[in-house]
Amino acid sequence: MGSQQTSVEPERLNQFLGAAVGDLGAAISASLVLVGDRLGFYKALAEEPATPAELAARTGTSERYVREWLGNQAAGGYVEYDAGSGRYGLDPAQALCLANPGGPVDLPGAYYLIEATFHALERTVDNFRSGRGMEWGEHHACLFHGTERFFRAGYNAHLLGEWLPALDEATDKLARGAQVADVGCGHGASTVLMAQAYPRSHFTGYDYHAESVRIANERAKEAGVDNARFEVADATGYGGKDFDLIAFFDCLHDMADPVGAARHARQALATDGTVMLVEPFAGDRVEDNLNPVGRVYYGASSQICVPVSLARNGPALGAQAGEARLRQVLEEGGFGHVRRAAETPFNLVIEARA
């Protein structure tokens, strides 16, 4: 049978191919962002512009490879190039996002999540065929490292100055001395940040991944925090009671039993306690999420979030669950007062009280 050619408008074809080439360039550059992060290229360029030879000398690397890396990064808009001097550097925005892990955006941290999806690629293909899942702890360790870095930056930017103050009475309680649970705490970035800010309060981080709990305890020790501790426990089985605040940071949508987690939190709260639910930003309709942020979250959701829930036969809310579905989970868990307290382009912050 001969092949048939479908008539395509040249303008539409060029438009699609232009976008696809941009995506292809981004995809092939993802590993090079990790190269730049691991070899200290971004930090060196943030300190002072450099020629390829100068950057190689300052970082102990090969000039020939560095030359190609810089060309790739300049073509993608990740570094600036001055043709007159032959030097490459970072403008303030690039330096903030690429060379400052303590800042409000840690872009290289996100690329470790991308790396993790390729480590899991064969499992992902199998999951799509079978409907099975993949436990969080089965992923490559780069996922845990990237999650800590990328989300910690957002917490640095918003948690203390915006999200906690948006909750009714929470900061007053924390300042006086409160009992706080951080459920699904991972490496404890959010827990340690709150513990540093509120030394009179006591914080307990819970996570079912034992290796993450071990690292969280190390992070607290490194930070000199003595009012935070971490325990291995899942979201429906931790034993603490009478918490003034229970926080879920970017984790409820991954869980096997999100309603059970909400119900357990309701039972573990003090009478006037509060749940703070931080989730990826999403609208309630698919069409609301067909944008660059939604694209990132759907990508992560299909390869990381949904498999974690399905591994334990959960409902697989996914990273684009949306506020209405999250509100339903909290209400089914026994909360009578649920409201959106704050938002950013990347997060929804929901307050729930009895």
CATH (residue range 107-353): 3.40.50.150
Q: Which of 3-7, 166-170, 284-288 has the lowest mean pLDDT?
A: 3-7
pLDDT on residue 6 = 72
Give residue 7's pLDDT band: very low, low, confident or very high (50, 70, 90): confident
Confidence check: pLDDT of 2 > 70: no
Mean pLDDT of 178-191: 98
209-228 average pLDDT score: 98
Q: What percentage of the chain carries pLDDT values higher than 90?
A: 97
Task: Please provide the average confidence, as pLDDT, over all residues in the chain.
Answer: 97
Kindly report, residue by residue over 53-109, the tens digit of the pLDDT.
999 999 999 999 999 999 999 999 999 999 999 999 999 999 999 999 888 999 999
Q: What is the pLDDT of residues 31-68, one digit of tens each?
A: 999 999 999 999 999 999 999 999 999 999 999 999 99
pLDDT of residue 57: 98
Average pLDDT of the segment spanning 256-280? 98
Is the confidence at residue 268, as pLDDT, over 60?
yes
Interval 166-175 mean pLDDT: 97
Q: Which structure tokens are listed for 294? A: 């939604």
pLDDT at 5: 59
Confidence check: pLDDT of 170 > 80: yes
Q: Do 306 and 124 form a contact (C-beta atoms < 8 A)?
A: no
* Residue 4 pLDDT > 70: no
The pLDDT tens digits for 107-157 are 999 999 999 999 999 999 999 999 999 999 999 999 999 999 999 999 999
Residue 298 one-letter amino acid: Y
Fold agreement (10-98, 107-353): no
The ranges assigned to domains in the chain are 10-98, 107-353
| pTM for the predicted model, two decimal places | 0.93
Fold of the domain built from segment(s) 10-98:
Arc Repressor Mutant, subunit A (1.10.10)
